[in-house]
């Protein structure tokens, strides 16, 4: 006989002994009442537990739905501006934003080391500025990142500290968030990082 069989026989003997005592003392009605109460309270406790678990699950679903609704404008912004490397940063600031690429010129000029004659586009001069760093450059068309213009082939002129340029546009926000100006230096026209220039009259 194994241990499990011994336990089963022991429990059966205890149950028979309890029934013997109930029958001997005529306690069937009281025993039935107690059993009904125990079963009823057990069923009530089980029902309350199921109700609590259902309510906790419902609350979690409601919280997740509210979180999804709150994050929807941000996710839509990321999808709308997925072609820009700074979409995550800009969408955190303003989920309704729609980024646009930096305006480009259709005919970039030659590098200053090998200039070629070109007919300048008509521009109205908005002001003057001084180059405040050495070896700054004018680019035909580019977006600026932390390392400068990402289209190095678009460089058309290299300027020295103290060179003066004409400002041809108001400040323009590049795709990565860098502010730029369209400028003219002698016969070359292009774009420069706004932090490289000191305007004679600050832009309002």
Query: Which of these, 112, 101, 114, 109, lies nearest to 136 by C-alpha position?
Result: 112
Least confident of 50-54, 66-70, 173-177, 182-186: 173-177
What pLDDT score was predicted for residue 5? 72
Question: How many Å apart are CA 15 and CA 19, to the nearest integer?
Answer: 6
* Token pair 């419902």 in the structure block, residue: 58
Look at residue 50 and tell me whether its pLDDT is greater than 60. Answer: yes
State if pTM tops 0.75. no
Q: Please state, as a whole number, how many other Cβ atoms lie within 10 Å of the Cβ of residue 203.
A: 13
Q: Please state, as a whole number, how many other Cβ atoms lie within 10 Å of the Cβ of residue 148.
A: 16
Sign (positive/negative) of CA torsion 172, 174, 175, 177?
Answer: negative
Residue 156 near residue 87 (C-beta atoms within 8 A): no
> DSSP of 139-162, one letter per residue?
ESS--EETTEES-GGGEEEEE-TT
Higher-confidence position of 136 and 123: 136
What pLDDT score was predicted for residue 138? 83
pLDDT tens digit sequence for 140-190: 766 555 555 555 456 777 888 888 898 888 888 776 677 888 888 888 888
What pLDDT score was predicted for residue 145? 56
What pLDDT score was predicted for residue 103? 60
Higher-confidence position of 32 and 70: 70
Residue 108 near residue 154 (C-beta atoms within 8 A): yes
Question: How many Å apart are CA 47 and CA 113, to the nearest integer?
Answer: 86
Helix pair 3-24, 28-80: axis angle to 10 deg: 130
What pLDDT score was predicted for residue 119? 46
Look at residue 197 and tell me whether its pLDDT is greater than 80. Answer: yes
pLDDT tens digit sequence for 72-129: 888 888 888 888 877 788 888 888 878 777 665 444 444 444 444 444 455 677 888 9
Look at residue 7 and tell me whether its pLDDT is greater than 80. Answer: no
Higher-confidence position of 33 and 175: 33
Domains and CATH numbers, the chain: 3-80 (no CATH), 127-199 (2.30.30.40)
What pLDDT score was predicted for residue 109? 44
């Amino acid at each position: 006989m194994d241990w499990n069989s011994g336990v089963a026989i022991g429990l059966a003997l205890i149950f028979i002994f309890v029934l013997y005592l109930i029958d001997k003392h005529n306690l069937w009605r009281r025993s039935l009442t107690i059993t009904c109460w125990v079963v009823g309270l057990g069923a009530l406790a089980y029902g309350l537990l199921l109700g609590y678990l259902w309510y906790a699950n419902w609350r979690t679903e409601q919280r997740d739905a509210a979180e999804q609704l709150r994050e929807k404008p941000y996710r839509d912004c990321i999808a709308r501006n997925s072609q820009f490397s700074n979409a995550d940063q800009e969408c955190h600031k303003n989920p309704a934003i729609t980024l646009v690429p930096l305006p480009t010129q259709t005919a970039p000029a030659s590098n200053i080391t090998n200039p070629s004659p070109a007919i300048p586009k008509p521009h109205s001069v908005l002001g003057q500025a001084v180059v405040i760093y050495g070896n700054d450059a004018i680019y035909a068309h580019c977006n600026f990142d932390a390392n400068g213009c990402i289209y190095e082939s678009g460089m058309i002129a290299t300027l020295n500290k103290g060179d003066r340029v004409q400002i041809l546009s108001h400040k323009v926000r590049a795709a990565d968030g860098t502010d730029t100006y369209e400028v003219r230096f002698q016969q070359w026209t292009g774009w420069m990082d706004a932090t490289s220039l000191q305007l004679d009259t600050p832009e309002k």
